[in-house]
A and B are shown apart, each in its own frame.
Chain A
Amino acid sequence: MAQAKTTILSPRLDAVLARRLLGQMALIRRFEEKAAEMYALGKIGGFLHLYIGQEAVAVGATSTLRPDDYAVSSYREHGHCLAKGSDPRRVMAELFGRRDGLSKGKGGSMHLFDKSVNFLGGHGIVGAHLPLAAGAGFAINYQGGDQVVLCFFGDGAVHEGEFHEAMNLVALWKLPVIYICENNRYAMGTAIHRALAQTEIWRFAETYGIHGEAVDGMDVLAVRECVGRVVERARRDKTPALIEARTYRFRGHSMRDPAGAVYRTREEVEREKQRDPIALLTARGLKDGVLSEADVRAIEQNVADAVDEAVAFAEASPEPPASFLFTDVYKD
């Protein structure tokens, strides 16, 4: 399957790239803030896990992909879905449980799927989508393609056996899968050192004989550079990799843990917020002279408009009809 190669990344930040990365991160941030508001208003129900603070990982990583590459994630997946290119209106409609949502309102916040952009879903069972990503890689090889799969998951998934089964399989079978562990240092309320005997997650790669690397997950350019390298190698040589993106979630685990303050100190949270990935990129862009204050304001305005439009779209979309209860249980 011949495909145009993506260009090798320039570590330099140009204006187009800066606007694109900042635009995507700002969109996710605004989307999540709005989702929290809508949750407080009762428009969104169930579990809602916000991605605020981690935007650089999804945006930096997916920015290295071709449209026909795949991505798959956990239940904290709004950011990955949007970064892969899904329409924010349909994502918001899904959160609202409406008919025009990506999954017709049947999946909700934790189960966003978008076949049109090769987003293989949001999965609610910790660790379970890691073998799935291996399966996507298996299918790519089987079909003779040169796409790659990015699989995003939390540090909590590393506790699970399926992490280790999946690492072994992709290494053994040389599958083009990049595992990106978003190490935000907590699995719900469990700090990483209370759960993992080896807290340097990237080191598990050594055990399985694949490439492992830790990257500053607050620096979108560093993520882009690191993931870009392993993506190109995976495309070329079918070599999997394990990337540990060190990041932090600024909010609680979910809306049921709004403050996220019982198991970590306020000082810690405030300190981490000093390394806000959006602020870091903005500062870098301004300093390098590739972004102007006006650019930044325009991006903020654009994403605010896009998110307002997403909410209006979700509000206007009807509830799924009762008949939808029984559709999509089996395919004919």
Chain B
Amino acid sequence: MAVMTYREALNLALREEMRRDPRVFVMGEEVGLYEGAYRVTQGLLKEFGEKRVVDTPICESGFTGVGVGAAMLGLRPVLEMMTFNFAILALDQIVNTAAKMLYMSGGQYNIPLVVRGPGGPAAQLAAQHSQSMETYFYHVPGLKVVRPSTPADAKGLLKSAIRDENPVIFIESETLYAVKGEVPDDPDFTIPLGQAIVRREGTDVTVVAYMGMMYRAMEVAEELAREGMSVEIVDPRTLRPMDTQTIVSSVRKTHRAVVIEAGAGFAGMGSEILSFITEQAFDDLDAPVERVTGENAPMPYARNLELLKTPSKAKIAAAIRKVCNA
């Protein structure tokens, strides 16, 4: 085990996979000479050269299409979206081309492609640069969608994503790049896609949360523990395929659930998690499941308004108290 930042863990995953498999290459805006807008690809150009660390013009749709075409011929592209907000320009390539190629070709052409970069609420970046982007992707059959919350997950899941035979949307977070944690040194360490993890064991209520919201829920759980409440926290890690089993098992144990989501609540991830909990564990529930979501407004710039946009600790605590006292 080594202690490293989330950013370093991603960088290490890229290096290890590029060393392991010559078909893997990195492509995107500012990934080479500039070393990545968020320094995730730092040093890669030096180690692997221009052939495998490819700076592109500002053309998300174009270079994503290049990735898909290269994958059809057997390469394993890892594309960086400078931030995931810009991935919407490549939405057609991702949704209509990458995700459906295997199906439309009757199994002839799979697309082993990773599209990675930061997304989600960031610090005062305002409406166009600070939003939960997973919503645009996890609806689509043919895509896998990962949201890694810790440095170890970042490394283990990115390596699995690169080795996967399908297009994987891998959304990191600007706000987590500097988070430190223990990361296994073993270059064969991977975390399978589609496995949730229990971050904190508890007996009174299950809280489902990922990325920044997971950390916020952990803080709330510690505070509520002082009041004698025992909160279990489950982090799905992969949103598609979703490990419903780990979440439902936890709810069967605690009989109560709160689902947290940073993005706007309407038709969000929280709705989906809430519905499978209700479908599969209704009889085990002692209270209606609560959802705590981002507000249904674009992200404001002003710090005070920005704080109101995403679920606060107070709102999370209130929801937990509500289901526990029901």
Contact = CB atoms under 8 A, between A and B. Distances in A.
B149 interface: no
A254 interface: no
Q: Which of B56, B69, B97 has the most CB of A within 10 A?
A: B69
Contacts of B165: 330-332
B302 interface: no
Nearest to B98: A132
A107 B106 contact: yes
Contacts of A133: 69
Interface of B: 25, 51, 56-57, 59, 61-75, 92-93, 96-97, 101-110, 141-142, 144, 165-166
Greatest chain A CB density within 10 A among B51, B97, B141 is at B97
Nearest to A118: B73
A131 B69 contact: yes
A328 B142 CA distance: 9
A140 B73 contact: yes
Contacts of A107: 104-106
A319 B70 CA distance: 32
27 contacts: A104-B106, A107-B105, A111-B105, A121-B104, A121-B109, A125-B96, A130-B65, A131-B64, A134-B65, A135-B69, A135-B72, A135-B73, A139-B69, A139-B70, A139-B73, A140-B73, A143-B73, A161-B61, A169-B56, A169-B57, A169-B59, A169-B63, A328-B105, A328-B107, A331-B107, A331-B110, A331-B165
A89 B104 CA distance: 18
Interface in A234-274: none
B97 A125 contact: yes
B110 to A, nearest CB: 4
A166 interface: yes
Given A135-B69, A142-B25, A113 B59 contact: no
A123 interface: yes
A140 B71 CA distance: 11
Given A103-B106, A328-B103, A128 B96 contact: yes
Nearest to B107: A328
A116 to B, nearest CB: 9
B104 A106 contact: yes
Interface of A: 70, 72, 101-107, 111, 113-115, 120-121, 123-125, 128-140, 142-143, 161-162, 165-166, 168-169, 172, 327-332
A332 B144 CA distance: 12
The 10 closest A-B pairs by CB, nearest first: A135-B69, A131-B65, A165-B62, A103-B106, A139-B73, A104-B106, A113-B105, A132-B69, A135-B66, A331-B110
B61 A162 contact: yes
Contact of A134 (B62, B96, B141): B62
A132 B106 contact: no
Contacts of B108: 102-103, 113-115
A120 B74 CA distance: 12
Contacts of A162: 61-62, 65
A328 B102 contact: yes
Contacts of A132: 65-66, 68-69, 72, 97
A131 B105 contact: no
A200 B63 CA distance: 26
A101 B106 contact: yes
A120 B109 contact: yes
Contacts of A136: 69-70, 72-73
B106 A102 contact: yes
B79 to A, nearest CB: 11
A106 to B, nearest CB: 5
B69 A138 contact: yes
B282 to A, nearest CB: 26
